[in-house]
Structure 1
Amino acid sequence: MSIIGPRRNLRARYNIAPTTTVEAVRQGEEGREIVPMRWGLVPMWWKKPLKSVPATFNARAETVAEKPMFRDAFKKRRCIIPASGFYEWTGEKGDKQPHLFTAADDAPVLAIAGLWDRWSDPDGEQMLSCTMVVTEPSDWMEPYHDRMPVILDGKQIDAWLDGSAGTEILKPAEESALKEFPVSKRVNKVGNDDDPTLIEEAA
């Protein structure tokens, strides 16, 4: 993906939680740009306090075009959320085992389909926010979770960002596209995002 503007080295982060800031790629007037956004979409029309927003860090592919929280962004404000991988958990409550999912071919970035919006608080301060689109899991993914992020391939990115593609591309990734391995349970501690050993394979 080509991005306008000066090159930036983004800080490596290893355990990002909802409502914190992520980087998203959107289509600007002069080209694609990478912009920091709150992970957890707040629609433009939201009138209640920010703390009252429900969990909007994921948007279901099956309903994203109709749900009031997401439908306007689906029509007009799409983005890509780049990530080197994502976590899912197995096991019983209190003893959850995190698993890291990355590209099977070791590509450095997965292009996750997303939506973004711009919200203003009562004082007029503006905030950008985004959500990841999730879909039903592939057969391979199902033992780990009943949903998975929509990962777009290079041929789908243009059509997603310019709005010409619809929900027909919001499908689970091919089973050969991802690989998985268990990682440290220290991932379960929210806020611990600066430790690169978190993504090392656990014994």
Structure 2
Amino acid sequence: MCGRFTQHLSWEELQRLADLIGQPRNLQPRYNVAPTTMIEVIRPSPAGNELVPMRWGFAPSWWKKPLRELPATFNARAETIAEKPMFRAAFAKSRCVIPASGFYEWTGAKGAKTPHYFSARDGRPLAFAGICGACRDVESDARIESATIIVGPANDWMRPFHDRMPIILDWRDANAWLTGDDPGAWLRPAPEDSLQQWIVSRRVNRSNEADDDSTLIEPSVAAAC
């Protein structure tokens, strides 16, 4: 799964990687992104790829209850996304890329879990495969755009830390994922040598504004490996 990640990204870097259109923005660095908060999402449009803020936690267009009653939809399983009523329409026609600087997973026993931070070995942003959509909030009548990260089985390198991981695209494949006819072809584990990891502060276990700064991703106990 992927329940916490980071987005400390620059518009210029994302524009080079995803050929973004639109006015450049100063993107706020985020080091402890939690479900139901706003995230930056890349989606296709008739004019090109655009970067759009969305709610992390997918709500389909037909959702008619308060958003607080949604089940946990911040992740969608690669194995079932094409069939699940919650996700299948968006998987067919509303795919997106969620750019990330890295993500967290935990090891150890309950109550004493150790957080690990995962990022690309080459230092570039990660491209998480996702789906997105929009619904009408029944409480505020506002249009809510939302997205989820697709997760699949872990590769051999990731398995000591967790049995699942985000679907991570090569940026060269991003447009094929966004607009291609065979999205299932991209739902595979990342290459074994694509990630690095190190242990970080347990402060990341808390999700509030006071615990969202760059020290969260500094090595705590173990060196990168």
TM-score > 0.5 by shorter chain: yes
The answer for the alignment partner of 1:18 in structure 2 is: 35
Q: State the AA in 2 paired with 1:120.
A: R
Per-residue displacement from partner, 1:25-74 (whole Å, max 9, x unpaired)?
A: 00012111000000000010012221110000001111111100100000
Amino acid of the structure 1 residue aligned with 2:57: G
Q: Secondary structure at the match of 1:202?
A: coil
1:177 pairs with 2:194: yes
Partner residue in 1 for 2:50 = 33
SS in 1 for 2:172: helix
TM-fit CA distance, 1:154: 2.3
Name the structure 2 match of 1:195: 213
The Cα shift of 1:103 comes to 0.4
- Which of 20, 33, 39 does residue 3 from structure 1 map onto? 20
Between 1:67-76 and 1:156-165, the stretch displaced more is 156-165
Runs of 4+ in 1 over 6 A off after TM superposition: none
Question: d(CA) in 1 for partners of 2:116 and 2:181?
Answer: 34
- After TM superposition, the structure 1 = structure 2 runs for residues 43-122 of structure 1, keeping only pairs within 5 Å, are 43-107=60-124, 109-122=125-138
Per-residue displacement from partner, 1:47-102 (whole Å, max 9, x unpaired)?
22211100000011111111001000001111000000000000111111110000
- Look up the SS of the partner of 1:155 in the other structure: helix
Following TM superposition, by how much is the alpha carbon of 1:164 offset from its aligned partner in structure 2, in angstroms? 2.3
2:142 aligned partner: 125
Give secondary structure in 1 for the equivalent of 2:144: strand
RMSD after superposition: 1.1
The C-alpha deviation readout for 1:115-137, integer Å capped at 9, x for no partner, is 00101022531100000000100
C-alpha separation in 2, matches of 1:125 and 1:11: 24
Unpaired runs of 5+ residues, structure 2, are 1-17
Q: Is the 8 A contact 1:87 1:98 kept in 2?
A: yes
Higher RCO (CA 8 Å, separation ≥ 6 residues): 1
Offset, 1:165: 2.9
Structure 1: runs of 5+ lacking an equivalent: none
1:172, distance to aligned residue in structure 2 (A)? 0.7
State the 1:169 CA deviation: 1.3
2:174 to 157, 176, 185: 157
Answer yes or no: is the 8 Å Cα contact 1:76–1:163 preserved in 2: no
Kept in 2, the 8 Å contact 1:151–1:172? The answer is yes
C-alpha displacement of 1:166:
2.1
Give the aligned residue type for 1:121: D
Structure 1 letter corresponding to 2:47: E
**TM-score, normalising length from structure 1?**
0.96
Amino acid across the alignment from 1:119: C
Matched-pair identity in %: 55
Deviation of 1:181 after TM superposition, in Å, equals 0.5
Q: Assess if the C-alpha contact under 8 Å between 1:82 and 1:111 holds in 2.
A: yes
